[in-house]
Amino acid sequence: MIIPDEFARKFRGSYCLVTGGAGFIGSNLATILLELGAQVCVLDNLLTGKRENLPDHPNLQLVEEDLAGYEGLGQLVEGSNYIFHLAAMVGNLKSIEQPELDARTNVMGSVRLYNACRKTSSLVKLVYSSSSAMFGEAASIPIDEGHRQTPESFYALSKMTGEHYAMLAHALWEVPTVCLRYFNVYGMPMERNEYTGVISIFFDRLQEQQALTIYGDGEQYRDFIYVTDILQANLRAAAIGNPGRVFNIGTGNRTTIRSLAEAMIDITGHVVPIEYQGFRPGEVRRSVADIDRARRELHFEPRFGLHAGLDEMWQEIRRDT
């Protein structure tokens, strides 16, 4: 990933706290921060994150604790220059099944973190990983930051609530927060569970030469963004994002689930049938980001098209097997 020198200098020698840093996006972010010369502390309960996702590095500290209940949180926050808040219970279906756990993790965990930051004079920026799920079914496409928020799952609601707390923490306590609303992120390491993203599921099934299952008619579409571009957005938000601002982070391009399946079959060379089942609850039909604000204020520009990102991901999967 190309990082401008003026950004890299901001992180060199800094102390960075990454909540949820052993997970998919968090581990990638922790790794790039270490490469930029930062001291990195990862706070993760390892329920979904994995220790092996993190590099063996002298400047990395792993604290295996739960953000929503860890009594030593204030000590971790004290002295932090940059905090990247990714700890969350992810998944629309999972949140419908376990709403209390979803709220505890995504809402109370966030509130505790913001409260701990109230008197942290060293803090330059806190970047909150929010979600486009809060928009619900789109009234207009592409979706800009001012689009109405009509969450259709408890996960979407809890991420929206965490974002609102972040904005109030900035307004009332002067916690320098910036919020990034991710659209559909993919990349390595893949999370393998029943709630993982469609791309990870499809790659797993393609490896096993099994049919790809699409829920609905396949014409629903998403804005898929490669994890490397998510890292770029986080670093730019921390380096130059104005506190109190919210940004959509996607590519601005739409991909139907049917065309995604076809592209992945083409990339892997594994020809399998595509099967269709009924729509699942809590999932929207249309989602594409308007990223004009991120382009203007963060100078953010996605560098990976879908085919390039999928191909890089597939090559890494093949190296690991």
The catalytic site residues sit at: 155
How far, in Å, CA of 140 to CA of 138, rounded?
A: 5
CA angle 127-179-115, nearest 5°? 60
How far, in Å, CA of 185 to CA of 51, rounded?
A: 21
How far, in Å, CA of 103 to CA of 70, rounded?
A: 16
CA angle 24-137-265, nearest 5°? 50
Q: Which string of b and e fits 171-185 if b means at least 16 CB within 10 Å?
A: eeeebbbbbbbbbbb
> Of all helices (H) and strands (E), which one includes residue 39?
strand 39-43
What are 134's two structure tokens?
């809060």
| Terminal Cα-to-Cα distance of the chain (whole angstroms) | 24
Q: Strand 274-277 relative to strand 125-131: parallel, antiparallel, unpaired?
A: unpaired
The residue among 78, 85, 83, 166 whose CA lies nearest residue 122 is: 78
Q: What is the largest CA-CA distance in the chain?
A: 57
